Structure 1
Amino acid sequence: MERLYRNRGGYRGETVDPAALLAACESAGRREGWRIEHLSVAGRDHPLVVLRREARRQPTAGPSRRIYLSAGIHGDEPAGPLAVQTLLESGTLPDTHAFWVVPCLNPAGLAANRRENPDGIDLNRDYRHLRSPEVRAHVAWLLQQPSFDLCFCLHEDWEASGFYLYELNPDDRPSLAPAMLQAVREVCPLDLSPVIEGRPAHGGLIRPDIRPETRPEWPEAFWLLQQGHTRWSYTLEAPSDYALPVRVQALTRAVQAALHVLGNTG
């Protein structure tokens, strides 16, 4: 695969119809017996769609886990929602774990191919101050859910030269990052820069500072950690300057690889 070099000053790639994507996710969910919820968002025409499925059998190794998966918080990052659609339609999410899935947290932004919501708010910087109706609706829903054992937040980076990820793992569990990066390497280059987004990186892996005072604006993954909703999460960043199918496959493979390791090791 080759880098396209078409992003100049922002994302200039393919777009996605959020209504069609969410309809496809709901259809796949119904076929597989998922429970579907619609979260009303003040001032928006379309609700947030949430899919949930309980574990159906015990894993062969370790306990059943509660796993959260979200995408589409930035409207100019279509690969994440498409990866969620692919995972739902493929039926490859293991039934040994319970899942909570939010395919698109910013449908209006996705429709406009715009990072922010219609009010110009970057939703992934709003989980401390809750200024946006999307994040308020999302947080209100999250507060009604149990804590999650593992979380995935799917993203893209239009400036990146390759795939990379963030790991929040304060309890120092055996990292799932090596398996994810190895799986991605087969379909998409990794960003091997020593510094990514101003943070030290090692082979495509960033372990950011988790002290609240270092983050005046909280992203989704940081809120989940600080509020005690998880102690283990990965934010996956596909490089937007590659073809959309490559980015979707990279995100999909990363999630599948992590779940495979989790299922085999407990």
Structure 2
Amino acid sequence: MSQELAAGEPLGSLRVIGYSVQGRPIHLWQLTQGIRSLLLIGGVHGDEVEGYALIERYVASGKWGSLAGKATLWAIPRLNPDGCALGQRLNANGVDLNRNLPTQDWIPASLEARYPPGAA
């Protein structure tokens, strides 16, 4: 990954954008730079291995290089690294992150036991 972005960062640059409840890093890759912005999120649920495995393989493949100059491509393979490490849908606080979004109709009550939205 030795090509350079227009801003001077190497293609495939990795950043830590935060930490999980259990202190695991949440990684963000900036793969290319260009006119449009695209975001790939691989895994919100830790028990859905296919999503984060696919994005990790894609990042490692370098096949995204053809987007350089056309799109700024970002990738977050594991949005829920605790769930991935534990092999469970929920994060370490027992929250389904796919149900914990700032929407107009969000409520803290769990409508189904499998999908707890968290307290806030």
**Alpha-carbon distance between aligned partners in 2 of 1:119 and 1:113, rounded to the nearest angstrom:** 14
Residue 68 (structure 1) aligned with residue 42 (structure 2): no
Q: Deviations over 1:130-187 (max 9, x none)?
A: xxxxxxxxxxxxxxxxxxxxxxxxxxxxxxxxxxxxxxxxxxxxxxxxxxxxxxxxxx
Q: 60, 68, 79: which is aligned to 2:50? A: 79
Shift of 1:72: 1.1
Instruction: Map 1:1-266; keep pairs closer than 5 Å.
Output: 30=1, 33-41=11-19, 43-55=21-33, 64-93=35-64, 94-95=67-68, 96-128=70-102, 213=104, 215-216=105-106
Q: Tell me: CA distance 1:78–1:122, structure 2 relative to 1, closer, same or farther (3 Å).
A: same
Q: Deviations over 1:97-120 (max 9, x none)?
A: 111111100111011110001111
Shift of 1:91: 1.8
Contact (CA 8 Å) 2:20, 2:80: kept in 1 or not? no
**Alpha-carbon distance between aligned partners in 1 of 2:17 and 2:31, rounded to the nearest angstrom:** 17
**Alpha-carbon distance between aligned partners in 2 of 1:89 and 1:42, rounded to the nearest angstrom:** 23
Shift of 1:36: 1.1
Shift of 1:38: 0.8
Instruction: Give unmatched runs, 5+ long, in structure 1.
Output: 1-29, 57-63, 129-211, 218-266
Q: Deviations over 1:12-66 (max 9, x none)?
A: xxxxxxxxxxxxxxxxxx566222111232642211000113436xxxxxxx321
Letter in 2 for 1:65: R
Q: What fraction of aligned residue pairs are identical, expressed as a percent?
A: 26
Q: Alignment RMSD, CA only?
A: 2.2
Letter in 2 for 1:72: G
**Alpha-carbon distance between aligned partners in 1 of 2:21 and 2:92, rounded to the nearest angstrom:** 10
**Alpha-carbon distance between aligned partners in 2 of 1:121 and 1:99, rounded to the nearest angstrom:** 28
How many residues end up aligned between the 2 structures? 97
Instruction: Give unmatched runs, 5+ long, in structure 2.
Output: 4-10, 108-120
Letter in 1 for 2:81: P
- Detail structure 1 runs of 4+ shifted over 3 Å in the superposition: none
TM-score of the two chains, using structure 2 as the length reference: 0.69
Contact (CA 8 Å) 2:21, 2:92: kept in 1 or not? no
Letter in 1 for 2:87: N
Secondary structure at 1:120's aligned position in 2?
Answer: coil
Shift of 1:73: 0.7
Higher strand share: 2
Letter in 2 for 1:112: L
TM-score of the two chains, using structure 1 as the length reference: 0.33
